[in-house]
Each structure stands twice: as C-alpha cells, then as structure tokens.
Structure 1
Amino acid sequence: MLRFIIRRVLIGLGILLVSSFLLYLLVDLTLDPLEDLRTSTDPNKEFLIAQRIELLQLDQPVVQRYLDWIGGVLTGDLGNSWVTNRPVSELLQGAIISTIQLVSAATVLSILLGVAVGIVSALRQYSGFDYLITFVSFLLFSLPSFWVAVLLKQWGAIGFNDFLADPWIAWGVVIGVGLLAGFLWQLAIGGELRRRLINAAIGAAATIGALAYLQLSGWWSEPNIGPVILAVTSVVIAFAVTSLSTGLKNRRALYTALTCAALGVALWYPIRFYLFYYLTPYMNWAIAAGLGLLAALVGIGIGVLYRGPDWKQSARTGGIVAFLVAGLIFIDQVMSVWGPFYNSNAVNGRPIATIGDRTPNLGGNWWVGVLDSYAHLILPTLALMLISFASYTRYSRGSMLEVMNQDYIRTARAKGLSERTVVVRHGFRNTLIPLATIVPIDVITLIGGAIITERIFGRPGMGQLFLQSLAGNDIEPVMAYLLIVAFLAIVANIVADLVYAVLDPRIRVNA
C-alpha cells in the first residue's frame, strides 16, 4: 500500500508539472495584459505600456516566466494580482472557503439522496416508481444549470420571500400535497393493492399532519425544531438507522438507537441553554465539530453498555443516531436566532438571498452568521444538487441492477438470508465500487465547474475569481485556479483507487 501511494504521488507530481507548463503556455497565448492600453487614448500610452511590460516581465521568454512562477509556487508564493495589487494567496483564501461551503453541501446531499433513490428504483425495477424516477432523472440531467439557477432565484427566493410576508397555505393545497406524497410512497414501497392503499393512506396522513402542524403552530413565522419535532424525528432516525445498520430484529441495536434518541430529547433544553448562554461568545466550527464527535462517542458508549455478542453493531448504530440527533439540536439552535435575523435592517424581511455569500452589515453573534450563511447557500446548493442528483441516481440504479443479478446474490438468498441482509450487506457494498470512481472526480468537477452557478448567484468563490481574472487578463490568479483544480484532480484519482481497495479486497492496489 505504501509503495503504491508513493508511486502514485510521484507520477501525479510529474503530471502536475507537465500540465502546469502546458497550461501556462496556453494562458500566456490567450491573455493579453496590454489589451486595455493598446486601445487607450492616453498621451502617455507608450510609457504606460513599457511600465506594464516591465512590471509583468513580458519582455522575457515565456519559459523563463514559467520557471520564475513555478519556483515561487514551490516556495509557497503564488504571485500577486497586478489588477488588484493583492497577493493571490489572499484572494484564494476567501474564494476557496466560499466554494468548499457550496460544493460540500451540494455533494453530500446529492450523494445521499441520489444513491438512496437510485437503489430503491433498482429494487423496484420496471415499476411505476422506477419509470417516474427515470423520467425525472433524465429531465434534471438535461436542464441547463443557468436556467435552473434563474428559476430558483425567481421562485425559491422572490416567491418564497413574498410568501413569508403572509405565510399561509390553502388547505386544498395541503391536502393535494398530502395525496401526492401518499401516491409516491405507495409507488416506492410497492406490493399488493391492499398494502399500497395502506402505505398511501399513511404517507398522505403523515404529510397532511406535518403541514397542518407547521401551519397552525406558526412555524413559518418562527421556524424551529423544538421538542415535539425533535422527538418524532429522533425516533424515525433511530428506526431508520437501525433498519439499515443491523435490522430491526437486532433488539440491542434498536434499544441503543432509541436510548440515544430519548437522551437527545431529554437533553434538548440543557444543551441549548448551555450553548446559548455560555459557549456563544467562543463558538466556532471547530467547537461545533468537537461537540458532534462527543455526541457520537456517547452513542458508541451506550451501545457498548448494552453489551451482547454483537456490541460493535450496537455501538456503530448508537454513534450514528447520536450524531444525527446532535445535528438536529445544532440546527434548532441556529434557527432560534431567526427573529433577530429576519427583522434586522440588513435582511429587511427577505431572508432567502439571491446574491453573495453573506449579508453586509448584518451584525449579531456566531449563530446569526451561520444562519445567514445557510440562507445564502440554499439556492446555489439546490442548483448544483439537482443536476448531481440525477447523475448519482442513474449511476447507483445501474450499478445496483448489475450487482443484484450476480451469482453471489442468488447464493445469499438460497442460504436463507433476509432480503435486508442481501440488499444492504451484499448488494449495497458492491454497488459503491463504481461510485468510488465517480464521487471523487465529481467533487473536483464541482469545485472547478461551479463557475456558472457562482456567477449567477454572485458568490465570491473560485469560479467567480477565475472569471474575473480571465476578464482582466490577470495571469497569476488564473494559473493558481488551474493549478489547484489540476492538483485536486490528481488527488481524486489516487483517493478513488484507495477506496476501491477498501470496498473490494479482490482489488490489489499494487497490481
């Protein structure tokens, strides 16, 4: 393994060096830093041209300029932007953070939803649900990202902000949404007519009940999770995670998950009180990550305390459930500052933003800043997620269909294993092998390819920096962007090979 990593790293560095040289030549041929001066009517035009040539060393051969640039990169100096007169590393610092926020949220959501829907679609092959998901996937995949972004700005921001001024949904719409949800549930679960009708009724009733609760409780005006929603959601998470992790027949794992859910609900008020009154002045993302890790360790400890021959499965289930429940409490704490955020002069009753990554002159504590970041992330995340969701759905469906037709799946069923065990342990794990190649590359593609989305939503990310530098004929930031994308692409290929080996022991990375 170590030899493989060293070999791949050395090959990657060689590829990066060659590609950076070729990219520098192409960028040098494309950009003309003297373009604005050539058409200038300034009487000192020739002097200004000579001054800029000396500043940018344009009188030197391009190979010499590349060697000077790559030498600076090796020492940590990415150069300066002659347009803004600022170091490129300073420009990249804020841009990378903005892009990572956008890409990480869109990637995680699209992978979770896309893979789950794709697997269900494969298991319900040639059913109404399968045909519906196939149609929706192809529709989303064919939509231009800029068109989706414009529609989201119109209906997701302007329309929803108008709705928040008078938040009321007609009961006919509520009933219609509930019936549609029930119809989709019975399509996804399938079965005989009686089972379909029962699932449709349960899905419709649950959806109508949830919307009615949100409407009658004034949730749209003061959104929160609260103890009621937290309790219901935590129990659902406990059953769902246990079902996927060990199966509901594993009582110790189920009891562990339910204990973690109950503990989270019981500690809801004390945790929020402590976070709001004591930790708020010192709160940052490092502390938030530490609290999440602490919650997972508590869940693991609860699973260990239940003991039993399969205590590791219980510990794993408890850790996942505790982490997710802690995430709900964190979100509830963020939503608790909705009032000051919504009524502030900077927001002015229009919380869903259409441009930028933060509200100027907002003020407030760390929680208000997090809520503001979420409000700016919603629309661009949805724009990227919808396109990626379609891809992951198709990939996971095709991979699952191929795996479920293998001999070892038939053997597992012949041995009398439950369908959950066959699907989750034997089918799902092997379904992830093709995705291990796609996901790392797709993440890098999003980092380098969120240019259109960042442009439309005005996010000061990597794509926006690249476009601005390209328009200003500023070679240093352009090369820094291309170098980072090329480096991450090489890293993604190495990660994909390593994940392959982890998922499938038959694959030898040193072969």
Structure 2
Amino acid sequence: MLVLLAATFIVYVLTALSGDPLQDLREQNTPQAVSQMAARSAALHLDLPIPVRYFSWLGGVFQGDLGVNRDGNSVAALLGGAMTATLQLVIVATVLGAVIGITIGIISALRQYSTFDHGITFIAFVCFSLPVFWVATMLKQFAAIEFNDWLRDPYIPNVIIAIVSVFAGAVWASIYNGPRKGKLIAFGIGLGVTAVILYALSVTRWFADPGLGFPFILVVSLLVAAGLTALIAGLENLQPMYASLAAAGVGALLYYPLQSMLNDPSVLTLLGLLALTVAVSAGLGWQIGGLLRRQAMPLAIISGVFTGALIFMDRFLGAWDGYAAMVHGRIVSTIGSQTPNFQGDFWQTSLDSSMHLLLPTMALILVGLASHSRYSRASMLEVMNQDYVRTARAKGLPERTVVVKHAFRNGLIPITTIVAGDFAGVVGGAVITEQVFGWRGLGSMFSVGLKNVDPMPVMGFFLVAGTAVVVMNMLADIAYAYLDPRIRLS
C-alpha cells in the first residue's frame, strides 16, 4: 500500500510538471479565452501547489471521488467505460496467450532439442523481437484488409493448400517422439488430413457461410473427451472415460432441442445453460465414475462444457452471413471496439464485438507468446530433472502419470508469477495496441490525459494499473498455496 501511495505521488507530480494545461487556450485570440482559462484553472485547482493538489485528489479517492478532467467530465464515468473496453481485450488476450504459450512450452520441454523445440525457440525469439505497433499494422493489412477482400470469393489456391499441408505435416512429425519411420508416418497423416480439410473448405466455400453442424460437434466432442481423459486419467480404469464420453454425448445430442432456445438468447439464459451443463456433467461423473468419481467428475464437466462451447460456436458462426451483409463484407474490423450505431440480435452483436476484438488480441498474444513459452519450457525442464521425478520413473509409473501428476503441477509455480505479472502489465500497458486499433480504453485515456497535461485521467489510469499489480500478486500467492502444499503449511 505504501508503495502504491508513493508511486501515485510521483506520477501526479511528473504529470503536473510535464507541460502547461492552459497552452491551447493561450494560443487562442478569442474573447472567451480568458474566461475559459479561469474556469479550467478553477477545475484543476491550478492556483494551489502541486503537493496540495495531490493530497486533495487523494482525499477525494478515499471518498470515492476521482475528480474531473479539464473539460469538466467525471473521471469515474470515463474510467468505467475505458475499463470495460480494456478488460475485454486484456482477459481474452491474457488467457489465450497463457494457455497457448504454456502448452507449447511444455511440449517443447518434453521434446527437448528436437526439430519442434528448435523451431519453437526460433519463432519465440522472433515474436519477442517484433515491436507491437509493427505487428498490429501487419495484422490490419493482411488479417483484415486482405482477408476481407478474399472473403468475396473464398477460394484457396492449390499452391497455398500444398504449402500449409507440408508445414502441418512437418509440425506433427517434429512433435512425434519416435523412430524415423514413425515421423514419416506422422508427416504423411498430418499432410493428408490438412490437405483434405483445406480442399473441402475451398470447394464448399465454407468461409462464405461457415458453421459446424451436428456431425462435427458429435465427433469432435467425443474425440476430445476421449483424448483428454486418456491424457489425464489414463486407460487403466475406464470409469472416468465412460463418464467423460457420456457427458460429451449427452451434450451433443441436445444440439437440436436447444436450437429454439438459442435463437436470440440473453446472457442470463446462457449462464443458466452453463450452470445446468456443469450440474448434469457432475452428476454423470458421480454416477458413472464409481470409486473414481473424484477423478471422473472434473473430466465429465470439462467434456460437457467443451461440447456446449461447440454448440455455442455453431450458432455464433450461423450469424456470419447476415452480419457480413450488414457490414458490407468487411467482417474483420481494423478500428474501434464496436461498429458505430450497430443493431442486431444477440449473435450478430456478439460477432461484431468479437471481430473488433480479434486483431488487438492477436497482436498481444504474438508479442507475449515468447515469454510464456520460454518460461514454461525452462520451468518444466528444471522440474523434470528433480529427484522426485526420477524416483517416480524408477517406481515404474507411466510417463503420462509422471508428467501430468508430478512434474506439471510443480512446473506451474514459477509460471504463475509470470502470468499474474503479464495480466497486470497488459492492464496498464496496452497503450500502443489501443492507439493503433483505435480502442477507447485505459490506454487511450492515459495518452490523452498525458498529452493534455490533465493529471486526473492519468491518475485514474494509474490507480487501476497499480491496483491490478497488487491484486494479481496477491492472487499469485494464493495460487502458490494451491499448487504446493508445503507453502500452505508454512
């Protein structure tokens, strides 16, 4: 708390000394300039010394009053709207970046010094070296403008299919840890499956009016349920597998009965369906899991929620064609957090928000991917060389059990610090990203306040950013106790 108070004082003083808040009015030759300068001086208390102004602001903060900006607008109201926009960006980018980066880092550690490991290392350092404004500009050009033009006739050239298929085959071959013959088989399967999928998407013009459909949802949900259960619980006892498959199957079979309810749902309806999904999946895990119900219930819940997410995504994509007509084919947006004066049903509105969120999220993920993947790789390698891991292997435990139950949990402890710090940093550091993509979030509020020598919006921004750092560090400490019982006992 003392650090936060000291930091707010320093930032307030630096902002107040950064320029003349009356400069724009002094340059005017209108009769109203004198009265406007007097009004702004009174609003910003420019007649008082800077330390007195700071303590006046601090007293207002403890009373819930964040003051007004130089135009007389409430900073609290501005902060509320800016936080809504920024949190949408921060939460999605941080969660996806952490999940993708940690997954890649762990696979890279388990395949140390393999082709996959070297490739990921190269890509990670390239992403780490790229400035975010350059990444954002390239995404606007190629992932928005060029992609929107391509959507007019979404045909995938055979050359692109061949290049992407070879790349996909090489990735799967590098992930496979086995003899050369197995790598060649993995390469062939990855190449063939990717080529067939891309060719089918091109021939059917899937991108013109995308969707998933019941067969896809049923097959994918069952495959993911089986794969996830085999990875976490293994195949020694099949009760968790049966529970997970039952939750996925029941969820998929509700595809058609739920269609009428999902025509134009509210957020409350979706939350209710989510709660019902969790309850039913937990019940299936309890009933089918038997003596292993403590292991079966979480797996069944994950499988049920994943199946529900696929159904949600299918309805989400179903609004694609109508939304494209409403925005004149410019699906991927390059500026702002929403289309001005846009009106549509729930799915069209959600699609509009998602398309505005896509590019800035991708920019933040690409820039942060390097740190997540490298830290998770280093942490996993350190844990895999510990004595208790070697002991678990010497006892004859399967490699899956050694990695998932012994190494992974302990490897997450240092990564927790990185993720918490990244979340707090993005809350206060998405200034450049918001500027490039025209988001009116906390970053825009900070830059405008600093440019106008207006301390109140800057302090509102810093108060949120500083509080985020404190809160995320506290949550990281709580997560340590969950991951390592020794910390909890001490």
Q: TM-score, normalised by structure 1?
A: 0.92
Opposite residue 121 of structure 1, the aligned amino acid is S
What residue in structure 1 maps to residue 8 of structure 2? 20
- Whether 1:96 aligns to 2:96 is no
What do the CA deviations read for 1:140-191 (whole angstroms, capped 9, x no partner)?
0110100000000010001100110011012332233222211110101221
What residue in structure 2 maps to residue 200 of structure 1? 187
Alpha-carbon separation, structure 2, partners of 1:349 and 1:45:
47
Classify the secondary structure of the residue corresponding to 1:269: coil
Alpha-carbon separation, structure 2, partners of 1:266 and 1:51:
66
Instruction: Give how far 1:358 is off.
Output: 0.6
1:323 equivalent among 281, 291, 305: 305
Alpha-carbon separation, structure 2, partners of 1:295 and 1:216:
36
Alpha-carbon separation, structure 2, partners of 1:450 and 1:236:
38
Alpha-carbon separation, structure 1, partners of 2:271 and 2:95:
17
What do the CA deviations read for 1:197-240 (whole angstroms, capped 9, x no partner)?
22122222221222233223331111111113212321232123
What residue in structure 2 maps to residue 472 of structure 1? 452
- Whether 1:132 aligns to 2:112 is no
Instruction: Give how far 1:40 is off.
Output: 3.1
Q: Given that residues 31 and 470 in structure 1 are in contact (C-alpha distance below 8 angstroms), is that contact kept between their aligned partners in structure 2?
A: no
Alpha-carbon separation, structure 2, partners of 1:34 and 1:352:
40
Opposite residue 29 of structure 1, the aligned amino acid is L
Alpha-carbon separation, structure 2, partners of 1:53 and 1:230:
63
What residue in structure 2 maps to residue 35 of structure 1? 23
- Whether 1:159 aligns to 2:143 is no
- Whether 1:66 aligns to 2:46 is no
What residue in structure 2 maps to residue 421 of structure 1? 401
1:388-467 equivalences in 2 (<5 Å): 388-467=368-447
Listed as ranges, the gaps of 5+ residues in structure 2 are none
What residue in structure 1 maps to residue 258 of structure 2? 271
Length, aligned pairs only: 490
Alpha-carbon separation, structure 2, partners of 1:248 and 1:39:
77
Instruction: Give how far 1:193 is off.
Output: 1.4
CA distance 1:362–1:51, shift in 2 (3 Å): closer
Alpha-carbon separation, structure 2, partners of 1:327 and 1:94:
28
1:45-194 equivalences in 2 (<5 Å): 45-83=33-71, 85-194=72-181
1:351 equivalent among 325, 328, 331: 331
What residue in structure 1 maps to residue 349 of structure 2? 369
Listed as ranges, the gaps of 5+ residues in structure 1 are 1-12
What do the CA deviations read for 1:13-43 (whole angstroms, capped 9, x no partner)?
3332232222222222224211212333345
- Whether 1:311 aligns to 2:307 is no
- Whether 1:381 aligns to 2:369 is no
Instruction: Give how far 1:444 is off.
Output: 0.7
Instruction: Give how far 1:386 is off.
Output: 0.6
Instruction: Give how far 1:64 is off.
Output: 2.2
Q: TM-score, normalised by structure 2?
A: 0.96
Question: Which region of structure 1 is more displaced relative to structure 2, 48-57 or 28-37?
Answer: 48-57
Q: Given that residues 427 and 468 in structure 2 are in contact (C-alpha distance below 8 angstroms), is that contact kept between their aligned partners in structure 1?
A: no
Q: Given that residues 31 and 475 in structure 1 are in contact (C-alpha distance below 8 angstroms), is that contact kept between their aligned partners in structure 2?
A: no
1:248-263 equivalences in 2 (<5 Å): 248-263=235-250
1:292 equivalent among 258, 274, 298: 274
CA distance 1:305–1:47, shift in 2 (3 Å): closer
Classify the secondary structure of the residue corresponding to 1:395: helix
Alpha-carbon separation, structure 1, partners of 2:275 and 2:39:
56
What residue in structure 2 maps to residue 283 of structure 1? 266
What do the CA deviations read for 1:59-81 (whole angstroms, capped 9, x no partner)?
11222222221122112111112
Alpha-carbon separation, structure 2, partners of 1:259 and 1:338:
31
Instruction: Give how far 1:415 is off.
Output: 0.6
Q: Given that residues 16 and 453 in structure 2 are in contact (C-alpha distance below 8 angstroms), is that contact kept between their aligned partners in structure 1?
A: no
Alpha-carbon separation, structure 1, partners of 2:244 and 2:200:
26
